């Protein structure tokens, strides 16, 4: 099971790093800025998870494979940005893949450290959304997780599948695959069809009725 978590973590690190680096290239950052954004997007969620569950030092800071993977993705994106951009909606696709992989890997690692299934699912969601939040904050924009399209909900759905499977003593690998597939599918469906949770209302002013916050 440890090998599965490591594989999911490294693949998620790579695709989240691609997502961060692609956004850095689009913002015309220099190579240092692209690499910093790539590393931050790829490792922030895992670092927060490890600190909260007591897995110190965090794997992203103690295992050379994590920074090398994230920096390699950043370098590939910086020098081959046109190739990356040819993929259909690359940032959102990479983001959804990283979200799914991190959500299930984060949940599984939290379960291995003795957390209850509900708390492990929360750690899985945090693992999935943490890198995206830091990436967006570094780019001075509202984090995607706080906007209309489903993001944290998709991560939580995937994490709950893994946590529920553990609670029911089901095989871990199939549960991880189902959880990752559900998270990725839900996120991409939300992007494609504009699914979102209810938004906050604000008063319209000048006697206008309240309307949705835009």
Q: Please, which pLDDT band fits residue 213 given cuts at 50, 70 and 90?
A: very low
Spatial distance between the Cα atoms of 56 and 20, rounded to a whole number of angstroms: 25
φ, ψ of residue 28 to 5 degrees: the values are 60, 40
Q: Please, which pLDDT band fits residue 19 given cuts at 50, 70 and 90?
A: confident
φ, ψ of residue 11 to 5 degrees: the values are -65, -45
Mean pLDDT of 46-61: 90
How many helices (H) and strands (E) in the chain? 9, 2
In this predicted structure, what is the pLDDT of residue 116?
A: 95
The answer to whether 178 and 161 have CB atoms below 8 angstroms apart is yes
In this predicted structure, what is the pLDDT of residue 119?
A: 96
Determine if the pTM surpasses 0.95.
no
Closest CA to 195 of 147, 131, 157: 147
pLDDT digits (tens, 9 = 90+) for 122-169: 999 999 998 888 988 998 888 877 776 788 999 999 999 999 999 999
pLDDT at 212 over 80: no
Mean pLDDT of 198-210: 61
The answer to whether 122 and 138 have CB atoms below 8 angstroms apart is no
């Amino acid at each position: 099971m440890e090998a599965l978590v490591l594989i999911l973590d490294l693949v998620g690190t790579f695709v989240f790093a691609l997502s961060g680096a692609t956004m850095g290239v689009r913002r015309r950052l220099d190579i240092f800025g692209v690499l910093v954004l790539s590393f931050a997007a790829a490792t922030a969620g895992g670092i927060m998870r490890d600190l909260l569950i007591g897995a110190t030092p965090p794997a992203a800071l103690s295992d050379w494979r994590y920074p090398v993977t994230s920096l390699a993705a950043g370098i590939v994106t910086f020098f081959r940005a046109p190739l990356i951009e040819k993929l259909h909606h690359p940032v959102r696709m990479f983001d959804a893949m990283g979200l799914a992989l991190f959500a299930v890997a984060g949940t599984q690692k939290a379960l291995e450290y003795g957390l209850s299934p509900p708390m492990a699912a929360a750690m899985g969601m945090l693992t999935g959304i943490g890198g995206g939040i830091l990436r967006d904050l570094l780019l001075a924009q509202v984090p995607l997780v706080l906007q209309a399209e489903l993001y944290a909900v998709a991560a939580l759905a995937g994490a709950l599948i893994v946590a529920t499977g553990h609670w029911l003593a089901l095989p871990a690998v199939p549960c991880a695959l189902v959880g990752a597939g559900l998270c990725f599918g839900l996120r991409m469906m939300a992007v494609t069809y504009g699914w979102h949770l209810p938004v906050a209302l604000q008063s319209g002013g000048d006697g206008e009725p309240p309307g949705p916050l835009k």
